[in-house]
């Protein structure tokens, strides 16, 4: 049965929308007419690419449910209308983009639409990490910011994220207002653009050079904690992304070898299956080079350089460090090195699906612990709040998905400052005759063993979206019956504490272990998080395997 939509006041099925898009331009027509699979046409037009609280993210291509110049222009027109309604005048927006295919073009489209609406634009003249954009917004005194990136997603994807005047991604309170304005843009074919050379003549366009990046790096280096000389050998890969220059400048002076095959920007990410440093595959070339060079530490950053993944040479083999493990290590290292600076306001901020290990370490140092929903925007929001109220001081924040931040120069996860601290931390332990794995084992001895894992189920298209919805309903109604030993169930869709409502379920077991289930906000995926606490490592692995097997049987049924 055809899917029916209400569009521009009339009902339109996906075939009618397809026919409409054929008249947008010749390039769009050619791409669409080359599609022979009816299911593919339906998938491109059965809905609009949703502008959600995380902005846009989707596969690139022609169609209403794709990232393209029309959907980007629509989003930007909606943002422009919101900013004009909210701020009236003296509005400016900073824009950055990563190495993905079309990111630079999408950034230019966004700039042209903003300028056409009388909004001043500061656009980077080269690719730049997401945390640098976060810094730039506040540094230049802009009203908002935009970054064109799909982070660590496969090459087919791109995305569009909006930042507030403090450089924090929009939280739902404000994002929902923008969404209303975006949804009100109906004639996406004829959104007005102002060529950037004309915008420059009118004083509406400024190209950003290296001066702001230099200021960002200066702020990053203020977070430095250990600068003693060390013979530690390090291998770094930028995975064809934006981290190459900023990261190398942040850690200059250390013995770092670069993976040349992945040094330069490449929107096809031709040397990796997926440019995600959370996955071992992404670090294959770096690990090979590390083995050849006898390196002690390997790390990589994702295309927009907000995530970092690492491997450590331990007992002659390279061991990958998970996001939760690195978070715990960084918490222990940062608090140890800054112990004299800590006070009753010092605070760690983590997400609800992040392990308790780092939080327990912070508690021992006397820190306040604050939990947020999944997404670094909520951690950034807390920094904004603390800056206004003065009742807390942000020390460190992180999430299990390999994103960390110390300092308040950015309001988003920052793999540049993380790279600096991970390398310094590894050097600190190296000089003590230890690896990061040795340091982690010491933490386990003191705080107990934590085994954390994530399963991701990709469920694409209309059928996938329906299955994700039905699974969440099933777990909401019967989840506590599927597993033994569940003490509490937290349904965040009902609102818990002062957290916004969100479609997340968390099951806490009698011993403090837990698992959580949530649909991804940016991809057609269902994510299941596990955190097992057990004094015996073998028991922990056995319990994890049993819970995962049960969960897989339910989801894949």
Q: At 223, list the tokens.
A: 């977070």
Listed residue (483, 459, 480) closest to 470, CA to CA: 459
Tell me the torsion sign for CA atoms 166, 172, 176, 179: positive
Q: How many helices (H) and strands (E) does the chain have?
A: 18, 22
CA distance 41 to 35: 7
Q: How many CA atoms lie within 13 A of 119 on its CB side?
A: 33
CA 297 to the chain's CA centroid? 23
Listed residue (234, 238, 243, 246) closest to 271, CA to CA: 238
Residue 513 appears among annotated catalytic residues = no
Residues 218-232 as b or e (16 or more Cβ within 10 Å = b): ebbbebeebeeebeb
Listed residue (395, 399, 355) closest to 374, CA to CA: 399
Q: Which residue has the tokens 């992945």?
A: 262
- Exactly one of 151, 355, 401, 418 is catalytic; which is it? 151
Q: At 256, list the tokens.
A: 């770092």
**Number of other residues whose CB lies within 10 A of the CB of residue 488:** 11
Using alpha carbons only, what angle is made at residue 186 by residues 39 and 196, rounded to the nearest 5 degrees? 105
Residues 14-24 as b or e (16 or more Cβ within 10 Å = b): bebbbeebeeb
Q: At 536, list the tokens.
A: 């015996």
Which residues are marked as active site? 151
């Amino acid at each position: 049965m055809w899917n029916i939509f209400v569009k521009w006041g009339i009902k339109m099925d996906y075939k009618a929308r397809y026919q409409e898009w054929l008249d947008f331009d010749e390039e769009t027509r050619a791409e669409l007419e080359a599609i022979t699979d009816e299911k593919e046409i339906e998938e491109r037009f059965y809905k609009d690419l949703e502008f959600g609280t995380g902005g846009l993210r989707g596969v690139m291509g022609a169609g209403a449910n794709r990232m393209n110049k029309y959907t980007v222009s629509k989003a930007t027109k909606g943002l422009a209308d919101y900013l004009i309604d909210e701020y009236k005048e003296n509005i400016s927006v900073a824009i950055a983009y990563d190495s993905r295919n079309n990111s630079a073009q999408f950034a230019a489209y966004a700039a042209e639409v903003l300028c056409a609406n009388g909004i001043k634009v500061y656009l980077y003249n080269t690719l730049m990490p997401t945390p640098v954009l976060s810094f730039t917004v506040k540094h230049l005194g802009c009203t908002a910011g935009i970054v064109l990136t799909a982070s660590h997603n496969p090459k087919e994807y791109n995305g569009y994220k909006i930042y507030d005047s403090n450089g924090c991604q929009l939280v739902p309170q404000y994002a929902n207002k923008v969404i209303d304005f975006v949804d009100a843009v109906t004639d996406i074919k004829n959104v007005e653009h102002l060529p950037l050379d004309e915008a420059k003549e009118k004083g509406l366009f400024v190209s950003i050079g290296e001066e702001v990046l230099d200021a960002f790096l200066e702020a990053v280096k203020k977070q430095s904690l250990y600068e003693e000389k060390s013979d530690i050998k390090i291998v770094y890969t930028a995975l064809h992304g934006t981290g190459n220059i900023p990261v190398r400048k942040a850690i200059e002076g250390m013995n770092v070898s670069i993976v040349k095959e992945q040094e330069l920007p490449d929107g096809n990410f031709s040397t990796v299956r997926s440019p995600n440093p959370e996955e071992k595959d992404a670090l294959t070339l770096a690990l090979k080079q590390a083995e050849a060079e006898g390196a002690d530490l390997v790390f990589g950053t994702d295309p927009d350089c907000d995530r970092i993944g690492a491997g450590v040479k331990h007992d002659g083999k390279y061991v990958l460090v998970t996001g939760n493990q690195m978070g715990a290590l960084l918490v222990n290292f940062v608090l140890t090195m800054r112990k004299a600076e800590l006070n009753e306001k010092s605070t760690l901020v983590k997400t609800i699906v992040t392990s308790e290990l780092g939080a327990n370490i912070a508690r021992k140092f006397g820190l306040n612990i604050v939990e947020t929903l999944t997404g670094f925007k909520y951690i950034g929001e807390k920094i904004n709040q603390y800056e206004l109220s003065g009742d807390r001081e942000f020390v460190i924040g992180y999430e299990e998905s390999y994103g960390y931040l110390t300092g308040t120069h950015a309001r988003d996860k920052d793999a540049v400052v993380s790279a600096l601290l991970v390398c310094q931390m590894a050097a600190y332990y190296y000089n003590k005759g230890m690896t990061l794995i040795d340091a982690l084992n010491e933490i386990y001895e003191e705080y107990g063993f934590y085994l954390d894992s994530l399963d991701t189920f990709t469920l694409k298209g209309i059928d996938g979206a329906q299955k994700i919805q039905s699974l969440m309903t099933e777990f909401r109604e019967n989840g506590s019956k599927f597993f033994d030993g569940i003490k509490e169930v937290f349904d965040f869709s009902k609102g818990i504490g002062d957290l916004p409502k969100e479609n997340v379920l968390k099951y806490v077991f009698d011993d403090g272990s837990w698992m959580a289930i949530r649909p991804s906000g940016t991809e057609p995926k269902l994510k299941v998080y596990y955190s097992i606490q057990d004094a015996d490592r073998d028991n922990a692995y056995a319990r994890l395997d049993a819970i995962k097997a049960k969960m897989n049987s339910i989801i894949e049924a």
